[in-house]
Amino acid sequence: MFAQTTALGLAQSFAIALLIGALLGIEREKKKESSHHPSFAGVRTFMLLAEAGALSAWLAQQMAMPLIFGVLLGGMLVLIAVAYVLEKRTDATAVGLTTALAGVTVFLLGAAVMFGYAGVAVGLAVFNTSVLAFKDPLHGAIQKLGQEDIFAGLKLLIASFIVLPLLPHKAVDPWGVLNPYQLWLLVVLISALSLVGYVAIRSLGSARGVAVTGISGGLVSSTAVTLSMARESRTGASVGVRDDAYAAGILMAWVVMFLRVGGMVLLLNPALFLPMVWPYATMLFINLGFAVVYYLRSLREASPDPVGAVSLKNPFSLWSATKFGLLFAAVLLMVELAKRVLPVAGLVYVAVLAGTTDVDAITLAMTSQAGGSVPFAPAAQAVVVCVLSNTVIKAALAGVLGSPGLGRRILSATCCMLVLGVMAMVLA
């Protein structure tokens, strides 16, 4: 516990506690007005509860008697319980247990501020207010869940929080490339993206849902997005989602990858971006152009009432994601063996090999060495070649694992990026 040492700090802490009470109190007040039922707690009561929690914690610290806080907390619980019982006797439909629990939470959040955890208290207050305010959307979303959806979520939680922490976070092979933790993390990521895409499609429709999934997934791993959407296009798990939508989602994930790598270079070594700007910008805008074209076509092909009009099946499958993880492990081994057996042909050769699995490693290496041990021109070329190599590998995965229609669309975009990107790199 952290005692308040200055008058200004004390006033600030009490103000934060009161604002927390006001935040939740306003939501409960508006709820009371909309429901036309009386309630024992509104904005004033919640502010007083937060103040009581803050005062009890402050007094407990000042007098070095933690029992003061415990006694006042017990008295507050009794007071809220009595008010709740009396309200229910007057009108059985007037108030639920939610308001009473919110009152207890506000008291504790006010105390948390005085104990030195103001940031945590404010964050929880915002979260709790959001949960209370979005009651109807949350209930509606839960009602749409089927038993299969619940089981899928449980399996993903088990894979993420039980299996993943138990795996060794180090290489287990003689070459030092197979890390069970990282491989299973890819499996979890692919599975999670399948669930995210399924929820987005149900909520937003096929075209918009796949696009949102591609953009958000690209922030984490464009490779995982490619694998996940290619598998779904082949199996047809999401009925009504066409190849144009999947192609748009995959290419949007690639656009995010381009932006992420470019932002990394600009942030860490801006001088390195100048020699790579033309080929990199060429590939980025070609990718973006194809993504927009496929997205607009998918909107025209979409059902006029996509939400609820199409029968969707949850595409979650840990086994399918595990097979993709094993495939990725095989690629890692082949790359490492190629590095050891084949002669080294400079930075470009290393970049081509590195790009088959990851773009961040070579990008970070070049940003740290460019201008020093490595000249800017070859360093920029290595980054561009690495991105090209990674794009080609993802296109190959989409072509092999996805539907024929998806393969043709991704191949067209990749060929244009490859040809014009190499031309821009040669002419730059």
Q: Where are the domains of the chain?
A: 7-140, 147-427
Q: What is the pLDDT of residue 290?
A: 94
- Which mean pLDDT values do the consecutive 10-residue runs of the chain (428 residues) have? 62 90 83 62 84 90 85 84 74 65 88 90 88 72 65 78 87 82 79 66 61 73 81 64 83 88 84 88 92 87 42 57 70 60 58 72 70 75 86 89 89 91 82
Tokens describing residue 164: 């993943």
Q: What is the pLDDT of residue 397?
A: 87
Amino acid, single-letter form, for residue 221: S
85: three-class secondary structure by DSSP = helix
Q: What is the pLDDT of residue 289?
A: 93
- Work out the burial of residue 190: count CB atoms within 10 Å of its CB; fewer than 13 is exposed, 13-18 middle, 19 or more buried: buried
Q: Write the CA distances from 257 to 57, 359, 391, integer angstroms.
A: 48, 9, 10
- Work out the burial of residue 351: count CB atoms within 10 Å of its CB; fewer than 13 is exposed, 13-18 middle, 19 or more buried: buried
Count of CB atoms within 10 A of residue 249's CB? 34
* CA angle (290, 292, 295) in 5-degree steps: 105
Q: Give the bridge partners for 238, in sequence order.
A: 312
Tokens describing residue 21: 């009470």
Q: Give the bridge partners for 312, in sequence order.
A: 238
Rounded to whole angstroms, how far apart are CA atoms 239 and 237?
A: 6
Q: What is the pLDDT of residue 292?
A: 92
